[in-house]
Amino acid sequence: MAANANWQDGNTKGEPGSSLHGVTGREPVFQMTMETVGEKEATDLKGRKFALPVDSEHKAKTVRLYSVAAPHMRTFHLSWIAFMICFFSTFAAPPLMPVIRDNLGLTKVDIGNAGIASVAGAVVSRLLMGTICDLVGPRYGCAILMMITAPAIFCMPLVSTPVGFILVRFFIGFCLATFVSCQFWMSSMFNSKIVGIANGTAAGWGNMGGGIVQLVMPLVFDIIRRDIGSEKFTAWRIAFFVPGVLQVMMGLLVLTLGQDLPDGNYAELKREGEKVNDSFQKVFLYAVTNYRTYIFALTYGYCFGVELTVDNIIAEYFYDRFDLNLQTAGIIASTFGLMNLFSRPLGGVLSDVVAARWGMRGRLWNLWIIQTVGGVLCIVLGLTGQLGPAIAVMLIFSFFVQAACGATFGVIPFISRRSLGIISGATGAGGNIGAVTTQGIFFMSSKYTTEDGIMLMGIMIVACTLPVIFVHFPQWGSMFCPPSKATEEDYYISEWSKEEQSNGLHHASMKFAENSKSERGRQSPPRSKEETVGVDRL
Amino acid sequence: MACGVLQCVVRSLAVAALVLASTSFAEAGVLFSTLDESINVAVEIQGQNVTEGPVNRVAKVGDDRLVVSWNLNSSLMGLGVDKNYVSLKLRLCFAPISQLERGWRKTNDDLHRDKTCTIVIANQKYTTDGNSTVWRIPKNVPGATYFVRAYATDERGQQLAYGQSTDQLKTSNLITIIPISGRHVTIDIASGVFSVFSIASLIAFLASEFAQTSNR
């Protein structure tokens, strides 16, 4: 009775989780009795019903793409659209490059440097964004970043020198950190069983912005030139107001309509004692001392990083090697990015499907296989000399490289509960470092022809994917090693000191540990008596 | 669901490959090295004195005009060299210094792939007496160093001969063209206004949220 009164009137105080039914991992008996209330009647702290079925952490258990119900699906759509617009802004210059390079007198080195600058800024901002999400929430992180980088986009129309161009592309590139807030948000809103597809779809559709922009910016440029009658060198500048305005509008929408967690915003939850302020030092410490952070930062550089590099060089490659005109080369370039519509989500889906049967070990194998095949196809692309086959290989290659990105983020949410933000950020940053590295080594100088560069990049992909073999979870195992007797609770509680545990700070992690038992896969026997009661109902 | 999408993907890839394999790409064209230099071309910047020496002449886009005059090389007059010449195409071409590190302006002996002379000055009918044209430099010409070349073509547009206003090495008698910046005061102002709006609305929003939460 007392428990009912607590969550219904919203004045929840004291131990987080004690007044919400069926959530504490320490009271399996409560889980059984609360079960009869039914998950469909789950409500947030204010007593509002959720539109989707939710688990014990109030994360959604399904994804309904056609819905915009608050908070889960609304967050989903806000998140991916915001990220897509940031991708759009970052890659708004490449499709107009023939005009810009004549206006500013750019050389190939200038263009190469600008390409590297556009993805280098996000290395730092993605690392910072992880921390920001952990501390103030993804809603603020995403919106503030978008609205602070919007002035950089508005500076592009003012650029008149190569140095100015490189600097502006550098600052615009910071907004790619919305990827981290997007993934963090998805991981906070969707249950571990479907986090793969949620993350993959949101990020994939966001990445599509890199393809959409190759079609939209030339169109806008044409309209401005024809209908407003501007000169070429003025029209491209006006065209840049489109990404700028879109970004500001989206930032405002995220602020007004977004919500950090299923139960509310960080500020409200902190006030009501539901969200505890975490210490940055601890969060940072547990991220940097976890070796898995570094492995995934490296491997992500060779799926997402490669994707960014290819976005920058593929139009020129087809233009030069196969003597196409700029429009045709641009259309082919856009298909690479547009494959993201389904390839990245499918990578996440495959990760989830494989995990249902084989758990985390399946997810790791899935990632390694997909990314290695992507590397092999990259080698083949560099060696293909006919136009038709080259396009076919490129499309299949794009599928695998983007699916690998989706598969990576099927694993990331499980590395740490406490430091999820920083780890997501580090992985994202690793992706951008990979882009900087591959562009710098293979595509800047005349040492390698572009086709040789692509082939060598493929070899590097295969080599840098091997470290996935060494990722081991004590409770789930690794690609070649079975799990030990450790449990999910052991793993996630190790991030909290004894003192913090006595203050009850670890309860959210314990809820997560309970929900993550699905990563054992279907065949593993239960390890303790408690777990024979109804865990699999989730 | 995954299988169905995969099948669909494979099928569309096959179709795409077929369609695109039949895309015709550039056919080989006339080789520049096979052309005779039978045309004389001279360029003047209207209203300016001719400068000799290492300094290039300078022309401004939009203000200055180029006067291009051409005629058949006097030593080839009456020999029937020009019997197939139908039209004369005048082009503004990039000098080597402006092609440096810019592969999109590369010189290629195959005239179909050659990117040296992409800016059109005029297309004129060929006459044995020669002709000239006055060309106001349009605003979309990039800032670079140029020379002028004339291609004599037959009725199908195939190049038969050429002439240019510079020497074989393309280092003498060049013209530097000063472009427009493309910037406008109105664009600058709009940029400023939008940027300020972005930051100001963010601050206003955060302030109001902060006030709301601290009032409760």
* Token reading at A416: 């740490």
* Domain boundaries defined on chain B: 1-30, 32-178, 182-216
- Name the least confident of A5-9, A228-232, B206-210: A5-9
- Name the least confident of A35-49, A127-141, A397-411: A35-49
Phi, psi of A81 (to 5 degrees): -70, -40
A353-376 burial, b if ≥16 CB within 10 A, otherwise e?
A: bbbeebbbbbbbbbbbbbbbbbbe
For range A269-291, the mean pLDDT: 76
For range A146-151, the mean pLDDT: 96
Structural domains of chain A sorted by starting position, each given as residue range(s) with its CATH number in brackets: 68-266 (1.20.1250.20), 280-522 (1.20.1250.20)
Which one has a higher pLDDT value, A273 or A351?
Answer: A351
Sign of CA dihedral B191, B194, B197, B203: negative
What percentage of chain A has pLDDT greater than the value 70? 85
- Could A396 and B216 be called an inter-chain contact, meaning their C-beta atoms sit closer than 8 Å? no
**DSSP bridge pairs for B149:** B91, B164
For range A421-430, the mean pLDDT: 85
Contact in structure between A244 and B197 (CB atoms under 8 Å) = no
pLDDT band of residue B116 (cuts 50, 70, 90) is: very high
> A101 to chain B, minimum CA–CA distance in Å?
9
* Token reading at A340: 């993201």
* Token reading at A168: 């502006």
Who contacts A186 (Cβ-Cβ below 8 Å, separation ≥6)? A75, A76, A79, A195, A198, A199, A202
pLDDT band of residue B20 (cuts 50, 70, 90) is: low
pLDDT tens string A428-465: 889 999 999 998 888 877 677 788 889 999 999 999 99
- Could A150 and B195 be called an inter-chain contact, meaning their C-beta atoms sit closer than 8 Å? yes
Superfamily of B32-178 according to CATH:
Macroglobulin (MG2) domain (2.60.40.1930)
Q: Is A388 exposed, middle or buried (0-12, 13-18, 19+ CB in 10 A)?
A: middle
For range B56-75, the mean pLDDT: 89
pLDDT tens string A122-144: 888 888 887 788 788 899 999 99
- Name the least confident of A187-196, A224-233, B128-137: A187-196
Residue appearing with tokens 């501007």: A230
The amino acid at residue A59 is K
Residue A431 three-state SS: helix
* Element at A213 (helix H, strand E): helix A209-223
Question: What pLDDT is stored for residue B195 in this prediction?
Answer: 97
Nearest-CA residue of chain A relative to B18? Answer: A388
Residue A227 three-state SS: helix
- Could B9 and A102 be called an inter-chain contact, meaning their C-beta atoms sit closer than 8 Å? no
Q: What is the DSSP string of A69-85?
A: -TTHHHHHHHHHHHHHH
Measuring CA to CA, how many Å separate A118 from each of A41, A168, A196, B58? Answer: 47, 8, 28, 35
* Average pLDDT value over all residues in chain B: 85
How many Å apart are CA A117 and CA A169, to the nearest integer?
6
Contact in structure between A415 and A293 (CB atoms under 8 Å) = yes
* Element at A151 (helix H, strand E): helix A138-155
- Nearest CA to B17 out of A341, A335, A210 is that of A335
* Token reading at B12: 């569309």
pLDDT band of residue A162 (cuts 50, 70, 90) is: very high
Question: Is A31 a residue whose pLDDT tops 70?
Answer: no
Question: What pLDDT is stored for residue A248 in this prediction?
Answer: 97
The amino acid at residue B194 is F
**DSSP bridge pairs for B161:** B36, B152
pLDDT tens string A468-527: 999 999 999 999 999 888 888 888 888 888 888 887 778 878 888 887 888 888 865 555
What percentage of chain B has pLDDT greater than the value 70? 83
> B144 to chain A, minimum CA–CA distance in Å?
8
The beta-carbon neighbor of A108 closest among B20, B102, B182 is B102
* Average pLDDT value over all residues in chain A: 82
Question: What pLDDT is stored for residue A537 in this prediction?
Answer: 37
- Could A323 and B205 be called an inter-chain contact, meaning their C-beta atoms sit closer than 8 Å? no
Question: What pLDDT is stored for residue A512 in this prediction?
Answer: 82
The beta-carbon neighbor of A107 closest among B102, B113, B139 is B102
